[in-house]
Amino acid sequence: MASGGQTVLQFPQASTNLTARIHPLVIFNICDCFVRRPDQAERVIGTLLGSVLPDGTVDIRNSYAVPHNESSDQVALDIDYHHNMLSSQQKVNPKEVIVGWFSTGFGVTGGSALIHDFYSREVPNPVHLTIDTGFTNLGASIKAFVSVNLSLGDQQLAAQFQEIPLDLRMVEAELVGFDILKTAMVDKLPGDVEGMEATMERLLALIDDVYKYVDDVVEGRVAPDNNIGRFISDTISSMPKLSSEAFNTLVNDSLQDQLLLLYLSSITRTQLSLAEKLNTAAQIL
Amino acid sequence: MANSGARSFLQVAATEEVAPPLRVVQIEGLVVLKIIKHCKEFSPALVTGQLLGLDVGSVLEVTNCFPFPIREEDEEVEAEGANYQLEMMRCLREVNVDNNTVGWYQSTLFGSYQTVELIETFMNYQENIRRCVCIIYDPSRSNQGVLALKALKLSDSFMELHRTNNFTGEKLREKNLSWVDIFEEIPIKVSNSALISAFMTELEPDTPVNQCDYERLQLSTHPYLERNMEFLIECMDDLSMEQQKFQFYYRNLSRQQAQQQTWLQKRRAENMARKAAGEEPLPEEDPSNPIFKPIPEPSRLDGFLINNQIANYCNQINGVAGQSFSRLYLMKALHES
C-alpha cells in the first residue's frame, strides 16, 4: 500500500494496535451468500455484526449480505434493506451492533472506499473484511482492514486501508468437528463412542510422539530443546502423585458409582418395557 | 421404461401426490453453526428459530435458518413476532435464500424436550407445511464433547390420533400405539458447499488436539449425571402421580359399575313385582340418574410423554456412564504405564 517516500508523511499509530476476531459462522455465512449471489454480481457485500471488547478487539460474530449494484465507478447499496435487516437482528440479540462490513474478492478494490465511507457514518472506525472466494493466490485469504487517515503535515490528504491482525476463532468449529464441516457430505453424526475413540487415538498418537522424541534425545539423534523438555516435565509433574492404592480406590469408587447409575438406568428401562409388554398383553386378553 | 415415458402428465401428477416418507434431514454446516450460536448464547434460556430449506423427495434439505426473539407472553409482542418472521423471510428471499419453511429448531436442557408444547407446535406447523421437522440442540450435552443435534418428527399414527384428541386406553390399543411411537427420530446428514469445504480445509489449524478432545477427556461428569438423576427422579414422581390418577379413575369406575349393578337388580326386582301385579315394567335404564353418567377417562398423553422422558434420561445416563468407563480405564492404563 502507500509507501510514503517523504519524511513529512505521517502514519498515525493510534489505531494500528486494533485486532479483529472472527468466528467461523461469519465465514460460512459469507460463503453461502456468495454461492447464492445474483447472476450478474461478481461479489457480495454485507454488514458485520458483533461487539468491541474492552481491550479494543473487534469481535465479529454475525453477518448478513446486503444487495448492491455495482458499475465501473459507482456502488449502490440497498440502504433500506440494510436497516430493515439490522433492526430484525437487533430484536434477537441487541448486544450485536454493526462493527464493519465485508466483501468477497482479493483485497481492497476501487469501490471499497465509497462503501467504507457509508459504514463510517453508521459506526466509528468500521472494520473491512475481505474474503477471497476466488482463491486468487491459491490460498484462502481472509483479511481485515481499517481506515487510517494519511496526512501531510496538518493537511488531511486521504484515507488508506491498513491491514490489521485477524484472529480466527475456530473453537466453535472444533466443537462441531472439522470432519463434519470440511467434507461436502457427512452421512452420520458421530456419536458418543466414536468421538471418544477418535480422541483416544489422538491422545495415543501424542504420547507416542513424546516417547519417540524423548528416546531420540536420549540416544543423541535429535538436538535437545530445553523448552520442549520443560513442557514435558511440566506435564508430568501436573499429574497428582498418588500412591497406587489410593489411585486404585479412587478409580474403583468412580467405577462403582458409574456402574450403579448404569444399573439404575437399565432397571428403569426394563421396567418401562415391561410395563409396555403388560399393556400389550392386556389387549390380547 | 418405455411405458413410463409414454405416461401422460395427468398420470405423473397423480403419482406424485403420494409423497415418499421422510428419510433423511440434510443440514448445511452453516445451519448447524447458526443453531449452535443462537442456543449457546442464550443458554440456559430456551430459544427457538425457524428452519428454511427445500423438500426434495425423501430428503428434507435445511439450507438456512433464522432465530426468533425470546418470546414473551403478551399479545402485542406476539403480533410483533409474526411481523418479525415475515420481515426476516422477505429479507432473506432478497439475497436468494430458500424461502420455504421446513420446520423449527429449539434448544433443550438435559434432553427434556418431550412436552405437550412441542407436540402442539408441531401440529401447528404440520397444518401449513406437509413435511416439517424439529431440530433439537442440547447445549448442556455439548459440554461433554458431543454434538447433541437431533431431528424429530411426530409419527403419522400419533398425529392422526392427536387430531381427534382422543387418548383413551381403548383407542390407543386399537391403534396399537405405545409411548415409543410418538416421536420418530430422523437421521441427520450434514452437507457443505464446495466453497466452504475448501475454506475449512485451508483454515483447519494444524494441531493434533482440539477443544472437543479436551472436553471429552474431562474426568468430572458428576454434575451432569447428578442433574440427570434429579430430572429422572422428578419424572418418576410425575409418573407415579399419573398412575395415581389412573388408579383413582379405575376405582371410581368400578364403584360406579357396582352401583349400576345394584340399581339394576333393584329395578329388576321391582319390575318382577310390577309384572306380578299386572303393571307396565319400568325401563331398565335411567339416563337422568347420576350413576349412569360416564366418568371421563384421563388422557394417557401425559403418561406417554413422561415415559419418553424417562427413556431419554436413561439413555443419556447410559451414554455418559459408558464414556466415563472408557475414560477411567484410560486413566488407569496411563497410570500403570
Mark which residues 216-275 of B lie under 8 Å from A by CB: 216-217, 225, 229, 232
Helices B194-203, A24-35: crossing angle, 10 deg rounding: 150
Chain B residue with minimum CA distance to A240: B335
Does some domain include residue B153? yes
CB-facing half-sphere around the CA of B77: CA atoms within 13 A: 8
Across-strand partners of A21? A59, A167
* Claim to verify: residue B265 and residue B294 sit in the same structural domain: yes
Q: Are residues B167 and B239 in the same domain?
A: no
Q: B80 and B164: one domain?
A: yes
Domain boundary among B214, B243, B272: B214
Does B10 fall in a domain?
no
For every residue of B58-112, which 3-state class applies, written as one string? CEEEEEEEEECCCCCCCHHHHHHHHHHHHHHHHHHHHCCCCCCEEEEEEECCCCC
Taking only the tens place, the pLDDT of each residue in A206-220 is 888 888 888 888 888
Residues sharing a CB contact under 8 Å with residue B336, sequence separation 6 or more, in sequence order? none
CA atoms within 13 A on the CB side of A202: 16
Phi/psi for B102 (5° steps) reads -120, 5
CA distance B105 to B149: 10
Interface test with B, best of A22, A63, A179, A199 (most B CBs within 10 A): A199
Does the pLDDT value for residue A179 go beyond 70? no
DSSP string, B192-246: --HHHHHHHHHH----S--HHHHHHH----HHHHHHHHHHHHHHHHHHHHHHHHH
Does residue B47 sit within a domain?
Answer: yes
CA distance A13 to B113: 54
Residues B239, B282 within the same domain: yes
Judge contact between B156 and A252, C-beta under 8 A.
Answer: no
Residue A11 reports pLDDT greater than 70: no
Q: Give pLDDT, residue A7.
A: 47
Phi, then psi, of B78 in degrees rounded to 5? -65, -45
Q: What is the CATH number of the domain that holds B77?
A: 3.40.140.10
Q: Distance between CA atoms of B234 and B228, rounded to whole angstroms?
A: 10
Q: How close B331 gets to chain A, by Cα (Å)?
A: 8
Residues A82-136: pLDDT tens digits? 888 888 888 888 888 888 888 887 777 777 888 888 888 888 888 888 888 777 7
| B147/A175 CB distance under 8 A | yes
Does residue B40 sit in the same domain as residue B160?
A: yes
Mean pLDDT of A159-186: 72
B121's enclosing H/E stretch is helix B116-128
Residues 8-67 of B with CB under 8 A from A: 28-30, 32-34, 36-38, 41, 64, 67
Cis peptide before B44 (omega within 30 of 0): yes
Are residues A140 and B198, on separate chains, in Cβ contact within 8 Å? yes
Q: What is the mean pLDDT of residues A259-264?
A: 88
What does the pLDDT read at residue A280? 63
Residues of chain B with pLDDT under 50: 1-5, 13-14
Which residue, among B26, B95, B142, B317, would best test binding to A if mutated, counting the most A CBs under 10 Å from its CB? B95
Q: Which chain B residues are Cβ-neighbours of A33 within 8 angstroms?
A: 95
* ipTM (interface predicted TM): 0.78
Min Cα separation B210/chain A (Å): 6
A217 three-state secondary structure: helix
Per the CB < 8 Å rule, is A67 touching B38?
no
- Please answer whether residues A145 and A115 qualify as being in contact, where contact means their C-beta atoms are separated by less than 8 angstroms: no
One domain for residues B126 and B189: yes
Band (A3; pLDDT cuts 50, 70, 90) = very low
B277 and B243 in a common domain: yes
> A159 forms bridges with which residues in the sheet?
A149
Contacts of B289 (CB under 8 A, 6+ apart): B263
Three-state SS letters, A235-261: HHHCCCCCCHHHHHHHHHHHHHHHHHH
d(CA B310, CA B232) in angstroms, rounded, equals 6
Exposed e or buried b for every residue in A36-68, given b needs 16+ CB within 10 A?
A: bbeeeeebbbbbbbbebeeeebbbbbbbbbbbb
Q: Examine residue B7 and state whether it is found in any structural domain, yes or no.
A: no
Distance of alpha carbon A71 from alpha carbon A87, whole angstroms: 29
Q: At what angle do helices A244-284 and B301-336 cross, to 10 degrees?
A: 150
B201 and B97 within one domain: yes
- Boundary-marking domain end, from B147, B179, B214: B214
The whole-angstrom distance between B200's CA and the closest CA on chain A is 5
Residue B268 domain-assigned?
yes
Q: What does the DSSP 8-state code read for residue B322?
A: H
Three-state secondary structure call for residue B293: coil
Write the pLDDT tens digit of every residue in B207-251: 656 666 667 777 677 788 888 888 888 888 988 888 888 888 888
Q: Are residues B28 and B109 in the same domain?
A: yes
Cβ burial of A282 (10 Å; 0-12, 13-18, 19+) is exposed
Return the domain boundaries, chain A.
Answer: 9-174, 190-239, 244-285
The count of structural domains within chain B is 2
- What is the Cβ-side half-sphere exposure of residue A3, based on CA atoms within 13 angstroms? 0
DSSP state of A72: S
Instruction: Provide the domain limits for residue B120.
Output: 19-214
The last residue of a domain, from among B183, B214, B245: B214
Answer whether B86 touches A (CB < 8 Å).
no
Q: Please indicate, yes or no, if residue B1 is contained in any of the structural domains.
A: no
d(CA B310, CA A267): 12
Reference A33, options A138, A110, A116, A103; nearest CA is A103
Q: Nearest to residue A41, comparing CAs of A63, A68, A64, A65?
A: A68
Contact criterion met (CB < 8 Å) for A192 and B320: yes
Give the residue from B46, B43, B64 showing the smallest Cα distance to B54: B64
CB distance B155 to B144 below 8 Å: no
Judgement on whether residues B152 and B265 belong to the same structural domain of the protein: no
For A9-174, which CATH superfamily applies?
A: Cytidine Deaminase, domain 2 (3.40.140.10)
8 Å CB contact of A175 and B212: yes
Per the CB < 8 Å rule, is A193 touching B189? no
Specify the pairing of strand A58-66 against strand B183-186: unpaired
Residue A124 in 3-state DSSP?
coil
- Confidence check: pLDDT of A71 > 70: yes
- C-alpha distances (whole Å) from A139 to each of A65, A133, A136, B29 are 23, 9, 7, 21
> Which phi and psi angles does A262 have, rounded to 5°?
-60, -45
Q: By three-state DSSP, how is residue B279 classified?
A: coil
CA–CA distance, A75 with A111 (Å, rounded to integer): 6
B160 plus B243 within the same structural domain: no
Residues from chain B that touch A265, judged by Cβ atoms under 8 A, are 232, 313-315, 317-318, 321
Per-position b or e across B307-331, b if 16+ CB within 10 A of its CB: bbbbbbbbebbbbbbebbbbbbebb
Position A9, amino acid: L
Interface test with B, best of A255, A261, A268, A279 (most B CBs within 10 A): A261
- CA–CA gap between residue B29 and residue A32 (Å, rounded): 10
**Assigned domain for B5 exists:** no
Judge whether A96 and A61 are in contact, CB under 8 Å: yes
Return the CA Rg of chain B: 28
